[in-house]
Amino acid sequence: MFSVSMTSTPRRNLFPAVQHLKPLATFWRSQKTQGAPLERNESYGDSAKTDVEGGGRVRPFEDIPGPKKNFRSIVEFYRKTKGLRRFYKMNQSLFAEHGPIFKNNILGQTMVHITDPDDFEKVFRAEGKFPRRPPVDIWVEHRKRRNYFPGIILLDGEEWHRIRQSIAPKMMRPKIVEENIENFNAVAEDAIARFVKLKEACGPDDHIPDLEGELSRFSTESIGTVAFDTRLGLYEDPPKQEALKFIEMVQAYFELTMKLALSIPSNMVRPYMDTPAMKKFLKAADDILDIGQGFVDNKMRELKEIAEKGIDPSGPTQVVSLLTYLLSKDKLTPEEVNGMAIDVIFAGVDTTSNSLLWLIYHLGRLPHIQEKLYQEVVKVLGKDGDVTSKSLGKLSYLKACLKESMRLCPVLVSNGRILDQDIVLSGYNIPAQTVIAIELYCAARSEKYFKDPLEFRPERWLRENKDEIHAFSNLSFGFGTRMCLGRRVQN
């Protein structure tokens, strides 16, 4: 059905944690689908090193293996990352060469990469009350220049905790799906109608021309209803200009984040030079905040009118939107509420559309799985039934397919943490403040943690088989108090 595959170019990355002088410290890298076969002959280095932990001896940080620094290795690095675009391929090959833990030093920044779920667990359990991910410096730069609220993605410590506490009770409770399902169904109906039209236009033997862009449109409109409590208008005919500008600016924002992260000047010169790319980035970032603020201001006017009529919009029995909830809590300023809504868009749009794209790819390749899934959907919903939060709970094969797709092709190929204390990982001492890259992609493709890792096998996630899998081997949504805020919306 769809000719897409595993060789993945990071495109609009979901907050790649690109740091100053650390262009390669890219976590959260989203994968773009491209036409090429799965690489079945790769070795994943499971037996390359033995973990000495448990034997009592803790080895010093300096002993952690990693690539040598010489001209040949730099050329090799460039080649393996396909011109710096596929860092996870590089990490996979370092994993094969050096084993479950390795370190890499790029432009003076040393990072430790871990691939063993036992180590993932240790890191997540040691992260404390205020978990820290490496920041995306260029995003921080924009918010600083604009003197704007940094947002939940970039904040750390007590401030992050305050913001997280103000939104998590709403976003993380199971009812969030029920509260949004009508909006989601309405967007899904519009999207399906558009897909049908596009398919008719291209004929039975051809593909929908820009499926990726179409899924972006779908996820932006869907997540937009959560973030701004309004339809953005991407499915109107013609689409709303403001909505088109919004989606265009969000795309530019991610693309330029990547471009700037990989450009030497922006990584070597502080403060950031106002190169043409930087100016474009700042303009896109400003436009996004301004359009978002427009939605928030509209909602505030609406709430003021409701309040004048004497109704409490955040009353416990009311089904309230996220925006209404945040605005009526009085704990956040309107700027913080807008920053929060924008973060929901940044964090939710690309992750959702890329995950969907991969799922479609797998289902397209494997008609028997597609058929099994179809049968489940028809059984639970009937041929034309709307999805409800109850029916979602019964779609266990759908959930397994999604989970399997996200295992094999995680949108965020690595997560990251910085700990405030030393930790021993795979037998080596890791000093506090070291950037630790949690290599989800490497673990997911390792025979040590998954039987036949390259096979798309949703059955491995069904209840009867689940016990065989390490609980920390597949953390597509992260873990702990800093885990994905949209997790409940996703499954």
Q: From residue 154 to residue 173, what is the string marking binding to ligand HEM with x (rule CB under 6 A)? A: ----------x---------
490 binds ligand HEM (CB under 6 A): yes
The Cα-based distances of 178 to 118, 218, 379, 399 in angstroms read 35, 19, 21, 17
Least gap, CB of 399 to ligand HEM (angstroms): 12
Radius of gyration (C-alpha) of the chain in whole angstroms? 23
In the complex, what is the shortest distance from the CB of residue 256 to ligand HEM, in angstroms, rounded to a whole number?
21
- Using the rule CB under 6 A, is 429 a contact of ligand HEM? no
Cα-flanking dihedrals φ and ψ of residue 418, to 5°?
A: -125, 125
Give me the sign of the Cα torsion angle 338, 300, 230, 234: negative
Number of residues that bind ligand HEM (CB under 6 A): 27
SS3 category, 372: helix
> Which among 47-55, 261-269, 308-316, 473-481 is the span making contact with ligand HEM, rule CB under 6 A?
473-481
12 binds ligand HEM (CB under 6 A): no
Task: Give Cβ neighbours of residue 364 (< 8 Å, ≥ 6 apart).
Answer: 1, 2, 4, 370
Which residue matches tokens 């080649």?
Answer: 79
**Residues contacting residue 272 through CB under 8 Å, at least 6 positions apart:** 138, 141, 260, 266, 278
Interaction between residue 482 and ligand HEM (CB under 6 A): yes
Q: Are 14 and 411 in contact (CB under 8 A)?
A: yes
The residue assigned the tokens 């016990």 is: 467
- Binding of residue 133 to ligand HEM (CB under 6 A): yes
CA distance 66 to 112: 9
Q: Closest separation between CB of residue 480 and ligand HEM, Å?
A: 6
Question: With binding defined as CB under 6 A, does residue 224 bind ligand HEM?
Answer: no
User: Which residues ranging from 351 to 380 are in contact with ligand HEM (CB under 6 A)?
Assistant: 351-352, 355
- Contact between 104 and ligand HEM (CB under 6 A)? no
Site residues for ligand HEM, 256-315, by CB under 6 A, read none
Where do we find the tokens 């899934």? Answer: 373
Nearer to ligand HEM, 53 or 221 (CB): 221
Burial class of residue 204, CB neighbours in 10 A (0-12, 13-18, 19+): exposed
Residue choice 94, 123, 152, 291 for contact with ligand HEM (CB under 6 A): 152
For residue 135, state whether it binds ligand HEM (rule: CB under 6 A).
no
Candidates 67, 292, 348, 427: give the one binding ligand HEM (CB under 6 A): 348
Binding site for ligand HEM (CB under 6 A): 133, 152-153, 164, 223, 226, 343-344, 347-348, 351-352, 355, 411-412, 415, 476-479, 482-486, 489-490
